[in-house]
Each structure stands twice: as C-alpha cells, then as structure tokens.
Amino acid sequence: MPSIEFEGRRLDIEDGDTVASALFRDGVRTFTRSIKHHRRRGLYCLSGDCANCLVTVDGVPGVRACVTHARDGMRVRREGGWPTTERDVLAVLDLAHPLLPVGFYYKTFVRPRLAWPLAERVIRRATGVGRLPTTAPVGRPDARDAHVEVVVVGAGIAGLSAARAAAERGASVLIADERRVGEVAIPGSARERVLELAVGLRSLPGVQLLERRAAIGVYEGPVVPLVGEGELVRVHARRVIVATGAVERHPVFPGNDLPGVFLARGAGRLAAVHGLRPGERVVAAIETTDAVEQLRALVAIGAHPAAVVTSLGLPDDIRSAAAAVVRDGRVVRAEGRTGVRAVVVSTPSGERRIACDAVLVGIGTVPRDALLRMGGGLPVIGAGEVVEPGCQADRAAELGRRAGLEAVEQDLGARDALVEAPTGQPDASGAWLGPDGYVCPCEDVSLGDLRRAWAEGWRSTEILKRYTTATMGPCQGALCARHLAAFAGAGGAASGAAPGALTTARPPARPVALEDLAAGVHEAVEKRTALVDRHVATGGRVQRSGSWLRPYHYGDRWDEYAAVRERASVMDVGTLGKFLIGGVDAARLLDAVFPSRIAELPAGTSRYVVALDEAGYVKDDGLVCSLGDGRFYLTSTSGGADAMEAWLRDRAERLELHAHVLDQTAMLGAINLAGPRAREVLERLTDDDVGGGPLPHTAHAEITVAGVPCRAIRVGFVGEVSFELHHPRSRGVELWDALLEAGRDVGIRPHGLDALDVLRLEKGHIYLGQDTLPDDHPWKLGLGWTVAMDKPDFVGRAALERMRTLPLERKLVGLAFDGRPQRGAPLQADGRVVGRVTSCARSPVLGRYIGLGWLRTVEGAFPARLRAGPTVANVVDRPFYDPEGERLRA
Amino acid sequence: MLEIARLRFALVTCVAASSAVDAVLSTGGDAAFRVAPDEAMVLGEAGTGPRLAETAARAALRVDADAVVVDATDGWTAWALIGARALDAFARLSQIQPRERGYLQGEVARVPARVVVGERAVHVFAPAMWDAFLRQRILADCAVLAPSERREALVWGAS
C-alpha cells in the first residue's frame, strides 16, 4: 500500500488522498501553530485559501496540505512550534497576548539601540511558517510561453462554460485550474456536470486545458503566469476570463480558529471526497442552501449533527438527522483548549452551550477576485461566483457562457468596458458573529487588535493593513480582506474618515516558490569572440568582462607584459564595437555626433573620438577611420556597441541625414598585434607594405595577412607599434594561429586583460567607467584636445560652451606612489580627502607604482602631494611611459 | 519529437533608403525580409553570399546610390528547431507569438534574434557572438522535450 512518512512514522494513504486528508484520517487535528501566538490551527477551508494546513513536504516549507496530493514516499512534517507542533513550549505566547499587542514591535525594544537587533533575532526565530531549506537542491522549473485569444482561469462550471462558448466561436482558448477538473466538486451531479463540460471542451479544436496550474497574477499584455507541475507558463491572451469562484465567509467569533471549526465547504469536501467526518459531535451553523448541501454530505456518511443552528427551513433528511435545530441563533464563541469542545449560541431566548467536537459554519461566500482586481484597465472579465457569489450551477454556467461570448465578440476598442467593476465593496452582513475572534488567522490579527490599532489612530484600510499586517499573510486577504475593509468602513463612518475599501490586489494571488519566479532564467547572457576556444586551449583564464568572455591572462601575466614591451604579442580585441557608416551624409552625421573634425579626415587615416551626451559628459570613445568614397569605419568600446549603434541611427533620423549605419561587431573579429617586433612578424605574413612610411601611426589600410583579408589600423592602447587587424570572424582562428606561428622565434605570446591593464596605465589611457564618473566632460579627463570647439555644432557643444568658462574643480590626474597603493583609496591633502585612486599598478618598466586618480581643488589649486593610505602620491604628467610617443610611432 | 541542427546559410544585409530596401525585397523572393524600415536581410544557401550581395547591391544601388550592402554571413549563427515539437520548443525560448510560416524578430533565448518559420523547421538567427550561448540555451530550456542534436548541419532551403 502506498504511504507517506509523517514525522518519522509511516502513514498509509488512500487513492485520492491529499496530504491533509491522510493526516486527518490518522487523527492529526493540529496541523500547524499560528505565526505569532502559537495557537493550534487545524483544517479549516480545505480549498487552499487559508494558511492553517501549511506543512513541509520533502523539505519544501509552506506547502498547502489540503490541495497537495499525497504521493507514495512523501516526507511530511508540520511547521511551527518548539520543540514540536503538538507540544509547543512557545504556546505560552498566547497567554502573553495582552503583553504583545498589535504593532508592539514598533514601540518596544527601541532603547537602547542595540535592543532591537537582539529582539528581532529572537522574534524571527519564534515566529514564521517553516524554515527555508538550506541544502535541498533548487528545482529548475520549465518555462514556456503560450499565445491564445482567450485564457480562462478556473475550470469550474463557469470557467468551462466560458471556455466552451469562446472555443465554439473559433477562438483559441487556454483554460487552467490549480486543481484537477472536478476535484473540488462534491461527488454527485455537480461533479458530473463539471466532468461532462470538460470532456466536451477537450473535443473542441484550439483548446488547451491545463490542470494543477495556479494563476499567480494578471500583468499588462495581458499576461497570466501559471505555475504548477514543474513549469511556469506565461499565457499571452487578448482576453482574460477570471472564473476563480468564491471563498466562504470567514466567521469571526472568539475561538473561531480552534481546530475543529470548519468552513462548510471544507467540511463537506472532507466528507464527500475523502469519506471523513470532521468530528463525532458536529454543530452546523448554516445560512445558505449551499451550506445545507455540505451538511448533507456529512449526513450521507453517517454523521448525526448534534445541532443545526439556522434561520433556514431545513429539508426533511437534514432535520431528521439532526439531534436539535436551533432557530435564529448565532454562534458567539467556541470553547476548548486543544480543539473545539463546545459552542455557545445566542438565541432570542438566551445563550445556549452545546457540547461538540466540530463546528461547521456556512454563512455565505465572497468572491475570490484577487485576479479580477489585478486586471483593472486590462481586458479582464469575471465569470460565475467571482461576480455573483453563491450563484447556483445553472446561473454560473450562464454567466460563464456570457463571459466567453463577450471575450470573443468585443473589439479591442471597448477593452475598458470589459473590465468588471471590482466586487470588493465590503459586505459584513452576517459575518460578524461575535465580539472578538481572529479576523486574519494567517497573521494572528484579532478583532481586538484592529480596535486597538483604530484607537491608536490607524484609520483606513491601507494603514490598518500596514500596522497590523492583516491581509499580508499567505492567504493574501482571501479570508480577511473584506472584514478589514468593513471594519475600516464602519469605523470611518463613525469618525468621518473615508469609507473602507479593499486593499490593492497584487501578485502573487497564490503562494509561489522563488524557483518558479526564476523559471527559465538560468544564466547570464554571454558573448564570445571566435577565439575563445583558442584562449582556453592555450591556458587562458577566461572570465566575463561585461557581457563578453575574455582572457584575463595565459598563466604568466608579467611575461605577457614583457612580450608587448620587448618582443611581440597578440590580443583578441574582437569585442570592440565596429560600424560601417555610409551614405552621402555619413561625414555630416559623424561631425554632428562627435566633437572632433571628421569631414576633413583624409582617406586612410583615423582619429580618436570621444562620444558626449547632450550635457557634454563623456559616455564612450572610439576611433573613426575614413575609408574614402564617403564611407567611415567606427570602433567603440566593447560595452558601448549597442548604445552607439542606436545613438547614431537616432541622430541620423533626427537630423534627417542620408546616412546608413551597419553594425559589424558580430561580423568582424579583431586582433591587436603589438610590440617592438610586431612589424617584423607581420611582414612575414603579408606582401603588403606595412612599414612606417605607407602605414604610419593612425593610418589604416586593407591588407592580406596569411591569406586573410584584414583592415590593418595603426593604433594601439599599449604604447608600442601596434596593428589592429580587423578581419572576417570566420577567419579569426586561422589568423591568430598564423601570427603566433610567425612570431614563434621572436618570443611572441598572447596577452590578456591583466597585462593590458598595466600597459594602458603606463600610457595614461583611461578605462571608461573605472576611471571616469558620469559627469566628466573631456577637460576633466585631460581629453580637451579631442574637442574642436570651433565646429558649429556637435552633441554636447552647448553644454561644453558653458562649462569651459568655469574653473576646473575636479580632474583626473596621473599619480606616482612611493609604496603600494590600493585602488579606490582616498587621496588626502593635509588630512582632507580630496580625491580617490581609480587605477593603480606597479609598472615594471618604470620600477614603481603608478596610477590615475580623481583630485579636486583645495582653495583654488590642485594639490601636488597627497597621501593614499600609508603611501605618498605625487601628481605627475601623463603618459608615464614613452611620453613623446616615439615607440608608438616607430 | 524535437531535433536541433546548426544551419548553414548565407546572409546578406542591405542598409539603404526604404525604397531601395523594397527593391532588394523584390529580388530576394521568399528569402528576403525587411528587418527595419531601412534594412533588409537576404538568405541563401551557404557559399552564395557574394553572389547574393551582388544581386542585392545591383537592386539597391539603382534606387539609392549610397546603399550599403554586405555579405554578413560571418556575423550570424543559426539553429533550426525541427520536428512536431518545434513550435513547443520555440515557446520555451521566446515570448514572441509564433506563426505557421513567415518572419518574426525579437528576443529568443534572451538574445536579439530573427526567426524564419518554415514548413518543417523554425530557424533562429542570432549575432554570431551568441552562437555557443544560443545552443546551450536551446538544449537547456527545451530539455523537457528531450531534443536530439543532429551531427550534420542543416542546409538553408532544405527545411
């Protein structure tokens, strides 16, 4: 026989059992302890609405036992209570309720200041619902998108009827329910009707029926995410029909949270679906025909109600089964310690105490309308009990059919008209059965707590919610939201405050695991050049740099550095942004964008440019190569490529220029060959003349290297003779291998980002982002030479015009240290912090630590001698290495 | 059943005035797509990039003398989702609503992509720097469909 393991012992389970029914059959009555006062809590709604049966299943906390099917081998344990749920020492907190009034944590443990951190730890350990797993493997739910015309949430009579009506008119329909179809209906005609509708619906084309998927919200689109069965389905639909039914009114009276107090449908389900009696002596307080049906389910399995408290005329079978019928009575309190032992009923003739071990309360329903209320402004339609609580099956079917037709026939222009007004105007009639009791069982908020909060001045639904935390528990107000609104409304009327309204409905409408929210998101997006495999194969330590995978080093960063300074080296710079700009207005576009002169650039030459925003601040930099025939080739930083393309296209459009921008970043690879012997290596692989005469510094040419067509650009970030070889991506490996082979005898080796960091620093080159701040104009960075202020216009010019007249109060400077500095270290002058180190490294060629850093003026002048922690820093000119650029231009 | 296969193809990009893009589309037939008001993409069999580019350039330059037409095959990678579950697989990779046939574009597997839905396969084109990432995501996100990966690349036009 299949079984589950419950707190160390084996429990046989029956076909159709939920975890809750299996435990209840075994005699478990206390399912959990309440969050604050550690009161016993037992089965109550059996519809997944309340938090009374949260248990830990297979290490996962917060599982609703009443809607979770028992499976062979499950490990179940209760949550709450110490040392056990059954014998909970912390239940003493219930006695201390008057000492821990609502909101006490805002008012106590305030002084001394250390008190709260300590108290918080204790409070957090003593409260809560279950413990998050720390070792259990994280699930990886599948994620997918579904596109339909109509999505229906809820597969009861109304939902199925709506789906059918829409599908019969040719709409594609997805209908979902958090349970199996018919699972919640009492066996008999109602269930048969549901199953019959489902069979008919499945036979229609274009219909998808997803069971055990809970809708957790309605988002713009509209999009309805469904969670369950190990997947997240994002349903994109033109129309959303919410047919989530109703939840029974939660009665409020002293003792309303004792184990043994059931909502009528919950007790009916326990009897009809699982064949279990809620108790041996049941008192039923019922005021609706639906509740009578639930009581009938109990009678059908042999229960004899000790009393039926009602104002209804009872059918004969119920009347004859009941030991007593109490007319016009109201339950005013339930008594008991570990469970219900009696109820006290007020009648016109006085109070009457009735011994019992279970109370069934059926006083009406309220709509389960959280999804409907989330859909304000979206094409969301309610159907069935969610718009007409308590309606009978035929009426629900009719409401569903109408909603289905409406969803198909309304055009989008009328979308606002589709939204059903929230049904949330609170109606407290019949709900307030006693002078006190738990309004919000999830958060342990009683009617007395609400009164206290009201007296303290918290006088609207929203602030009562925030102060008391009512409606903020796992049920998200399903039971208590209307009580809270009614309370605020009634109090408001007395005090002149605004009438109570429901609190805002927000996702998730149903409990959802964090792993479900993260479904489909497993890793960061990762770009690769064509050479990444080569880097790995040659020992490169490849890691993310921005969104690219790049080699940081190949095992010996100092020899990589030495290769650049003394021999020859290659670096994969395929990550650079690369753009081809053509069109008769290409030069005008670039001149309008960049502060440098572009139109005058002769073909075959290039120019370093900075890109400014409208405020004149540097946002990127790059190189513009003039290709002739009015075309240009632009490179940008690796991280700035996407923005650069969008920016150029936007400018071309705004200025109505006839210029075309083609992003070639993915199409082209780039390898930088650098070092004093770089030209020697290159000459071995090309017949083209790459000497300093035909190809001087900043020039570029189309050449062929080892059979690979390349655009060779004489620039370099490292301060040595450099050739940036831009080539077709598919030929990258071929070119890389050829260069390394050709340079083998001169000691060529690739260098990574670590070596580059030192090499560029020696030349005083900045890293945008690392060495810059968001409000840096070119002069602050020492890049004023890139700006041609005599140009009539370029992006940022107007701002620069104003800023150039202002004295420079902060700038980036070169620093020479007498010790080892730390990046980020504050720079101090005469004990005052005047800047910080943005980059620093030991320069092998200079034999000392150098760096870049921000410096601001002190009394109108920039200090020249600073401290960076224990070291002394002197402001020096940049570049540190080869200041005349002789090696670069060689 | 779901199979995935690397796709071999040629891809030409034309950036030009809208009317020139129209001209390119008229020469490209079923394999030419407008990807932006001023940009067209023409697909063809692997190795035909230069010829396609020449044809497209002729058409574009007649209308816009500044049109930029390049064989951009190197800049793209493409994977084909093949079989009865191809659309199911696509639904696990993208929020884009698939069509029975035709061209779509948007985010697929979290990268910007162009999608051509054919009779027997869904072809996903993405910039080449995402080649490895795209394959990895397809296999991971569609794992529930138990995809098998073809050893041989699929040739554009054969699916």
- Give the tens place of pLDDT for each residue, B13-29: 999 999 999 999 998 77
Angle between helices A481-495 and A461-468 (to 10 degrees): 120
End-to-end CA distance of chain A: 86
Q: Which of A236, A659, A666 sits opposite B75 (nearest CB)?
A: A666
Could you say which of B66, B133, B141 has the minimum Cβ distance to residue A525?
B133
- Quick check: A658 and B132 CB within 8 A? no
Query: Which phi and psi (to 5°) does residue A467 adopt?
Result: -75, -40
CA–CA distances in Å: residue A488 to residues A253, A430, A458, A501, A840: 18, 17, 9, 8, 62
String of DSSP letters for A721-745: -EEEEEEEGGGHHHHHHHHHHHTGG
- Whether the per-residue pLDDT at B91 is higher than 80: the answer is yes
pLDDT over 80 (residue A790): yes
DSSP B91: H
* pLDDT tier, A418 (very low <50, low <70, confident <90, very high otherwise): very low
**CA separation for the pair A282, A357 (Å, rounded):** 6
Q: A862 falls in which pLDDT band (50, 70, 90)?
A: very high
What does the mean pLDDT of chain A come to? 92
3-state secondary structure of B74: helix
At A218-240, the pLDDT tens digits run 999 999 999 999 899 999 999 99
Q: How far is CA A728 from CA A26, A664, A704, A732, in A?
A: 72, 10, 12, 7
Subunit contact B70:A530, Cβ cutoff 8 A: no
**Contact (CB<8Å) B66/A583:** yes
Going A691 to A694 to A700 to A701, the CA torsion angle's sign is negative
Residue A885: φ, ψ to 5°: 75, 25
Tell me: pLDDT of A518 over 90.
no
Which residues of B fall within a CB distance of 8 Å from A660? 15-16, 38, 66-68
Strands B154-155 and B3-8: parallel
Contacts of B140 in chain A (CB under 8 A): 522
**Identity of the residue in B15, B75, B132 whose CB atom sits nearest the CB atom of A667:** B75
How far apart are the C-alpha atoms of A694 and B124, rounded to whole Å? 44
Q: Is B111 on the interface with A (CB under 8 A)?
A: yes
Q: Is the pLDDT of residue A521 over 80?
A: no
pLDDT at A109: 84
For residue A657, what pLDDT band results from cuts at 50, 70 and 90?
very high
Instruction: Return the amino acid letter for A138.
Output: V
Reduced 3-state DSSP string for A436-498: CCEEECCCCEEHHHHHHHHHCCCCCHHHHHHHHCCCCCCCCCCCCHHHHHHHHHHHHHHHCCC
Alpha carbon distance A82, A93 (integer Å): 12
Closest CA to A714 of A693, A728, A736, A730: A693
**And the tokens for A425?**
């105007």
What is the C-alpha separation between A811 and A553, in angstroms, rounded? 31
B139 touches A: beta carbon within 8 Å: no
Q: Return all residues near A27 (Cβ < 8 A) that are at least 6 apart.
A: none
To the nearest whole Å, the CA of A449 is away from the closest chain B CA by: 46
Contact A19, A4 (CB under 8 A): yes
**In this predicted structure, which of A97-111, A316-330, A834-848, B134-148 has the lowest mean pLDDT?**
A97-111
- Side chain identity at B141, as an amino acid letter? D
Which amino acid is it at A196?
E
- CA distance linking residue A95 with residue A89, whole number of Å: 12
Strands A668-674 and A569-572: antiparallel
Higher pLDDT, A50 or A501: A50
Across-strand partners of A181?
none
Q: Give the range among A423-432, A716-725, A784-793, B145-154 with minimum mean pLDDT.
A: A423-432
Model pLDDT for residues A153-162, shown as the tens digit of each residue: 999 999 999 9
- The rounded distance, in Å, linking the Cα atoms of A810 and A828 is 14
Residue B63, chain A, CB below 8 Å: the answer is no
Question: What number of other Cβ atoms are within 10 A of residue A104's Cβ?
Answer: 12
Rg (CA), chain A: 37
**Residue in chain B nearest A731 by alpha carbon:** B74
CA distance B49 to chain A (A): 13
Which tokens go with A462?
């929203």
List pLDDT tens digits, range A805-857. Answer: 899 999 999 999 999 999 999 999 999 999 999 999 999 999 999 999 999 99
- Chain B residue with minimal CA distance to A662? B15
**Coil, strand, or helix at residue A10?**
strand
Element (H, E) at A403: helix A393-409
Percent residues over pLDDT 70 in chain A: 96
Residues of A in contact with B141 (CB under 8 A): 142-143, 520
Asked if the peptide bond before residue A508 counts as cis, ω within 30 degrees of 0, the response is: yes
**List of residues 6+ apart from A119 with CB closer than 8 A:** A105, A108, A109
**Cα distance between residue B41 and residue B36, in whole Å:** 9
Nearest to B36 by CA among A663, A580, A593: A663
Amino acid at residue number A425: Q
pLDDT value of residue A416: 42
Find, in chain B, the residue whose alpha carbon is nearest to that of A666.
B75
CB contacts, 8 Å: B70 with chain A: 580, 662, 664, 667
* Cα–Cα distance for residue pair A464/A484, rounded to 1 Å: 8
Question: What is the largest distance, in Å, between two alpha-carbon atoms of chain B?
Answer: 51
| pLDDT greater than 70 at residue A433 | no
Strands in B1-159 per DSSP E? 3-8, 10-15, 32-36, 39-44, 68-71, 76-82, 102-108, 111-117, 121-127, 148-149, 154-155
**Chain A hits for B97, Cβ within 8 Å:** 147, 236
- Structure-token match 């940049």, residue found: A878
Cβ of A785: how many Cβ atoms within 10 Å?
A: 10
Q: What confidence tens digit (pLDDT) does each residue in A79-115 have?
A: 988 899 999 999 998 888 878 888 888 888 888 888 8
pLDDT at residue A417 in the model? 38
Region of poorest pLDDT, from A101-115, A874-888, B36-50: A101-115
Contact A548/B129, CB-based, under 8 Å?
Answer: yes
Tell me whether strands A142-153 and A173-176 are parallel, antiparallel or unpaired. Answer: parallel
CA A325 from chain centre, in angstroms, equals 54
**What is the structure's pLDDT at A122?**
85
Question: What pLDDT, on a 0 to 100 scale, did the predictor assign at position A136?
Answer: 63
Quick one: what percent of chain A has pLDDT higher than 90? 79
As a whole number of Å, the CA-based R_g of chain B is 16
With CA atoms as reference, report the closest residue to A648 among A578, A718, A549. Answer: A578
Residues belonging to chain A with any Cβ–Cβ distance to chain B shorter than 8 Å: 142-147, 231, 234, 236, 520, 522-523, 525-530, 532, 548, 580, 582-584, 586, 630-631, 658-662, 664-668, 728-730
Give the H/E segment covering residue B9: none
pLDDT level of residue A423 (50, 70, 90 thresholds) = very low
Tens digits of residue pLDDT in A160-192? 999 999 999 999 999 999 999 998 888 888 889
Beta strand segments in A27-93, E: 32-33, 40-41, 54-57, 60-64, 75-78
pLDDT per residue over A592-637, tens digit each? 999 999 999 999 999 999 999 999 999 999 999 999 989 999 999 9
Going A471 to A475 to A476 to A481, the CA torsion angle's sign is: negative
Q: How far is CA A549 from CA A557, A731, A752, in A?
A: 18, 19, 12
Q: Which has more confidence, B119 or A293?
A: A293
* pLDDT for res A96: 83
Distance CA A49, CA A357 (A): 23
Residue B78 touches partner A, C-beta closer than 8 Å: no
Confidence of residue A522 (pLDDT cuts 50, 70, 90): low
Q: Which of A262, A265, A300 is nearest to A282 (CA)?
A: A262
Contact, A632 vs A652, CB < 8 A? Answer: no
pLDDT value for A189: 85
Q: How far apart are CA A679 and CA B25, in angstroms?
A: 45
Residue A106's pLDDT is 83
Mean pLDDT score, A262-289: 95
What pLDDT does A422 receive? 39
DSSP code for A64: E
Q: Determine the residue of chain A that is closest to B110 in CA distance.
A: A525
- Which residues of B are less than 8 Å from A666 in CB distance? 74-76, 127-129
Q: Which is nearest to A595 in space by CA: A426, A799, A396?
A: A799
> Contacts of residue B104 in chain A, CB cutoff 8 Å?
none
Which chain A residues are Cβ-neighbours of B94 within 8 angstroms? Answer: 145
Q: Indicate the residue of A520, A523, A730 with minimum beta-carbon distance to B74.
A: A730
